[in-house]
């Protein structure tokens, strides 16, 4: 149905990841699934103490709309 792709930026810093893309199968778009995927990603990133960089335009918009997850952003 969908996925959030977030590889490690640098193998020597395994807690820093970059959200490269958020993808939802075209058959399932328009149902809020991308937002739900991002919510689950943010929960996972918080649990694993990840620092996050954003490349995906949808992820950037999600973080803009959700200041409660700004603590995840890499400085």
Could you give the number of structural domains in the chain? 1
Question: What is the rounded average pLDDT of the residues 6-33?
Answer: 91
Average pLDDT score over residue span 19-23: 96
Angstrom distance (rounded) from CA 24 to CA 26: 6
> pTM score, two decimals?
0.90
CATH for 15? 3.40.630.30
Per-residue confidence (pLDDT) for residue 69, from 0 to 100: 98
Domain that residue 54 falls in: 2-72
CA–CA gap between residue 1 and residue 53 (Å, rounded): 24
Nearest-CA neighbor of 24 among 73, 54, 51, 58? 58
Backbone angles phi, psi at 3, to 5 degrees: -160, 155
User: In this model, does residue 21 exceed pLDDT 90?
Assistant: yes
């Amino acid at each position: 149905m969908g996925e959030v792709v977030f590889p490690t930026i640098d193998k020597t810093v395994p807690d820093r990841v970059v959200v490269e893309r958020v993808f939802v199968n075209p058959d399932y778009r328009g149902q809020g699934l991308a937002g739900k995927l991002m919510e689950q990603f943010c929960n996972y990133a918080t649990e694993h103490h990840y620092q996050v960089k954003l490349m995906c335009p949808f992820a950037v918009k999600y973080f803009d709309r959700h200041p409660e997850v700004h603590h995840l952003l890499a400085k």
